[in-house]
Structure 1
């Protein structure tokens, strides 16, 4: 489960478009942040998560946040300022569950590697969807997690929401704040629709002829959509954006939305459920955890800035700036995450996240102070460097941010946990004890 939102340039503080996303995955599914340079591939086909697909030899530079074991990505930006976030959506369309298609994450990465505009990215996803389909497992340990996908696709000048149901799709150009979650949102207001979608829905009696065709009503599956509480999270994103004191939306505002919980005061992770934008896993009814977050500032006449946590729970994480053409994310200096508790950034920070599950308020207060002091400083430096071509200074800013966060990890590792037994959270702690056991078993 995930949440993605877009804010257009005209309503934002620095006049740049913003795309933001929380990636909600299984709790032990480490998320890598990676940079792949523009390159000339030696072959015209590439192996995605399950299948090989046709691909142009020349691909663009991309910065991605991706599940460690997948080829595709949950969210990302390319060197031309195209950014995409995707969502699982649950529809009435049957998937064969044979892993003969592309995951939503594959579609996202392939589009970013090949597009210079949001419109071209949209067209590439539609082409790939028609050619290969999306019969592909999107889970990690949950091998039964098959779903259709929706996408928010943006560049500095334009944005689109694209929603799918098996082979069918509908899309809309958007020019105001828009949020998507694990729910179809396009009703009768789409700009274009798959040419066979309406006839198929009429044949299935999912819609009556003679009334305006409603894509959401025709294709949405009710049970999983209800349990996922995507509509609630979508509305929360929209309400928070509209309720801001400042008339201009900022990167800090985007951070704040991604970190938000429905309980405003004295929140504890064991109180979390699927209705929280900052999602904390706690068992059967809330099996997903926010395992990575991104806010991208898309500039029309300068390089975009990509702010990533690279760690779980944005309320307990720090957004750091990353740039194209720099070496901060090279594997030799930024180890990539695996299935085990390794030296990667994600797993090092995960030590603190899991420690905070027993002493949330104390650790959250310390991390929040660090967030406020450092993120604001980095944002100011980022704005100064935004028009600069001094890649060395941008790389230094990224590396200093990573180093500062790793220093905080070491400092917080020394803090004693003040855990108190609470009968209401007993099942929650048993769940996380089981997750820790599973993680250690996977690491063997």
Structure 2
């Protein structure tokens, strides 16, 4: 479950997306260079292979560790794409008829489009052509093999944006000429939605509630808004009207863009976030967390044309040498009681990002600064030993996630139960004792 926003203004285009997936599914930033290919080359996607093209563009991806495709990304021509799971009648028919043979999944289509297209219109054409030729099918979850979905996309470039919605091999498009537009986990193009949407699954996904908030945020980030990038970051951190995650036993805290897992029917967690500023068409600038839960994360400046060494990619199990899993200790300790623990460092996070928005540092420097601060915040949150304020259902859910990920925990009764994981992080990194050069920290 996810949300994607785009704002088309007189000054240019802005884009934002949360990627909501399984709670333990690590997602890392990955730079892939431009390449030339032979006439007989193929590209191995998540479940099938397809013919390769003669040339692929350089791309920057936010990619779940186990798949070929990506949840969001950009290419060297300023094209940026985000996709959403949508639940359609066509998907139900395919499963009922036993026709859901492996094909391309939405994340594959997103990456292939970025690698092959120089404009948003070309990217839409790439997706539609591949969709009609190969179909979309196959598991979209490593831990739930039966979980599959159709997809919708926002495809943007410095000149505008296009909403592309699909149901099987069928599709519909809508051009975004001006103003804000958002999509979530339901079809939104009226005639196409009337023909293809599965309203029951859409309600479980709480897509209408989240889109109601993201549509307002996309519209507010319009022309003349000097703080548009910061406002889009805030929109991705939105927990709803209460300002804190509000859980349902059905779908966890899924009724607001910053999703937190814990439902019985669906349990989905925001595992990475991205904001793209395409207003400078000669040098688009992207802001990515590379970590879960934007409310506990720092958005770091990244550029497609400047690959950065930000450490090893994360995998299936807890690995304190990777940024995603190091941050998980902060994230999981904080959500023990976000009302008490998040304010301990949210102001510092905002001050840091404000300075970077005014003068973006190199990616490596920003990553080191964020690492240093997050380690400091983690030690503070764990050391606070804040008691649990969650339901028994949520405590059981997160204890199971920790076990599955081999994330070490202790006997504490609250945030201090993550002391062993913090010790593992401290043993794996010298960030707390290494001065950061080039990137200002509070």
Q: CA deviation at 1:327?
A: 3.3
Counterpart residue number, 1:411: 376
1:82 to 79, 84, 88: 79
Q: Which moved more, 1:106-115 or 1:411-420?
A: 411-420
Q: CA deviation at 1:236?
A: 0.8
Counterpart residue number, 2:8: 8
1:432 to 395, 398, 418: 398
Change (3 A) 1:357 1:301: closer
2:162 to 157, 160, 178: 160
Q: CA deviation at 1:334?
A: 1.8
In 1, Cα distance between the equivalents of 2:173 and 2:220? Answer: 27
In 1, Cα distance between the equivalents of 2:36 and 2:325? Answer: 32
Say whether 1:316 aligns with 2:296: yes
In 2, Cα distance between the equivalents of 1:244 and 1:17? Answer: 10
Counterpart residue number, 1:353: 331
In 2, Cα distance between the equivalents of 1:239 and 1:325? Answer: 32
In 2, Cα distance between the equivalents of 1:253 and 1:73? Answer: 24
Instruction: Give the 5 Å matches for 1:356-375.
Output: 356-375=334-353
Counterpart residue number, 1:19: 15
Change (3 A) 1:372 1:225: same
Does the Cα contact within 8 Å between 1:359 and 1:418 map onto a contact in 2?
A: no
Q: CA deviation at 1:311?
A: 0.8
In 2, Cα distance between the equivalents of 1:297 and 1:241? Answer: 13
Q: CA deviation at 1:76?
A: 0.4
Say whether 1:398 aligns with 2:363: yes
Change (3 A) 1:362 1:273: closer
Does the Cα contact within 8 Å between 1:352 and 1:412 map onto a contact in 2?
A: yes
Counterpart residue number, 1:282: 262
Cα deviation, 1:177-202, whole Å, max 9, x if unaligned, reads 10000000001xxxxxxxxxxxxxxx
Change (3 A) 1:238 1:41: same
Does the Cα contact within 8 Å between 2:221 and 2:228 map onto a contact in 1?
A: no
Q: CA deviation at 1:26?
A: 0.3
Counterpart residue number, 1:204: none
Q: CA deviation at 1:436?
A: 0.8
Does the Cα contact within 8 Å between 2:180 and 2:220 map onto a contact in 1?
A: no
Cα deviation, 1:297-321, whole Å, max 9, x if unaligned, reads 1145412111101111111111001
Q: CA deviation at 1:371?
A: 1.9
CA RMSD of aligned residues (A): 2.1
Counterpart residue number, 1:191: none
Say whether 1:235 aligns with 2:235: no
Q: CA deviation at 1:362?
A: 4.1
Does the Cα contact within 8 Å between 1:358 and 1:418 map onto a contact in 2?
A: no
Q: Which moved more, 1:91-100 or 1:111-120?
A: 91-100
TM-score by length of 1: 0.84
* Structure 1 gaps, min length 5: 188-213, 383-395
In 1, Cα distance between the equivalents of 2:36 and 2:29? Answer: 22
Q: CA deviation at 1:238?
A: 1.6
* Structure 2 gaps, min length 5: 408-442
Q: Which moved more, 1:107-116 or 1:409-418?
A: 409-418
Say whether 1:252 aligns with 2:237: no
In 2, Cα distance between the equivalents of 1:246 and 1:300? Answer: 14
1:216 to 165, 172, 193: 193
Does the Cα contact within 8 Å between 2:32 and 2:60 map onto a contact in 1?
A: yes
Q: CA deviation at 1:239?
A: 2.3
Q: CA deviation at 1:367?
A: 3.1
Does the Cα contact within 8 Å between 2:9 and 2:222 map onto a contact in 1?
A: no
Q: CA deviation at 1:353?
A: 0.5
Change (3 A) 1:357 1:404: same
Say whether 1:179 aligns with 2:175: no
In 2, Cα distance between the equivalents of 1:159 and 1:268? Answer: 31
In 2, Cα distance between the equivalents of 1:434 and 1:40? Answer: 45
Q: CA deviation at 1:98?
A: 4.8
1:49 to 29, 46, 50: 46
Q: CA deviation at 1:417?
A: 3.6
Does the Cα contact within 8 Å between 1:233 and 1:275 map onto a contact in 2?
A: yes
3-state secondary structure, aligned to 1:440: coil
TM-score by length of 2: 0.84
In 1, Cα distance between the equivalents of 2:395 and 2:71? Answer: 28
Q: CA deviation at 1:99?
A: 4.6
In 2, Cα distance between the equivalents of 1:292 and 1:99? Answer: 29
1:73 to 70, 73, 86: 70
Cα deviation, 1:199-232, whole Å, max 9, x if unaligned, reads xxxxxxxxxxxxxxx2111111121111001121
Change (3 A) 1:376 1:300: closer
In 1, Cα distance between the equivalents of 2:266 and 2:235? Answer: 20
